[in-house]
Amino acid sequence: MDIFGIAVLIFLVTDPFGNIAIYISALKNVTAKRRLVVAARELLFALVLLLLFLTFGDKVLSGLGLSREAIAIAGGIILFVIAMRMIFPGPQGLLGDVPDGEPMLVPLATPAVAGPSALAVLMTLRNTHEGPLWELYLAVLLAWAATAFILLQASFLQRFLGPRGLTAVERLMGMLLIMLSVDMLLDNLQSVLHINP
């Protein structure tokens, strides 16, 4: 996967369109002057978490003695499950109830943007990416920038797309994520079973 493909994968996993409702709900009791500041702060926290897991996540996995293929297959399964929840959400959505008041780290930075699926994908990419490491850092920055742009426009996008439009975009992103996860699974199963494509 090239930088753009990795960035798209991370962007899909962070699910900015699905998180618009969460951002609006979590910030509803914050004063209008503070909303943008709080949202920007939470997005910066999310970026720090993503970069920390990209930097040190491989040490955790290597310490557990996991093979590259096992990590990639597990990452594909996680992506598939998250994508299914995006397409067929439960009554409380992906993240459940959102607390009132001004949020701090939870739920906007994590698990909304830097959630378990995004962190697991970053650790998987760190162990499976064959190119230079700076490509992964650049892909994370590109995906985060696109996610941040969308979430900072949350109120406008909610008015523009409406509830049905937001749901349609999230379901479309879930479909794309399913295709990416199945491709990841097939590639690594071929490697494990020594099947030539």
Write out the two tokens for 121.
Answer: 């994908």
In terms of C-beta density within 10 A (0-12 exposed, 13-18 middle, 19 or more buried), how is residue 155 classed?
middle
Segment of 13-22, 77-86, 89-98 carrying the highest mean pLDDT: 13-22
Q: What residues contact residue 71 under an 8 Å CB cut-off, 6+ apart?
A: 61, 123, 124, 127, 128
Q: What is the pLDDT of residue 166?
A: 80
Query: Is the per-residue pLDDT at 145 higher than 70?
Result: yes
Question: Taking a C-beta distance cutoff of 8 angstroms, is the pair 192, 67 a contact?
Answer: no
Which band of pLDDT confidence, cut at 50, 70 and 90, is reported for residue 96? very low
- What is the reported pLDDT for 142? 97
Give the pLDDT score at 45: 96
For 146-169, the pLDDT digits (tens) are: 999 999 998 787 778 887 888 888
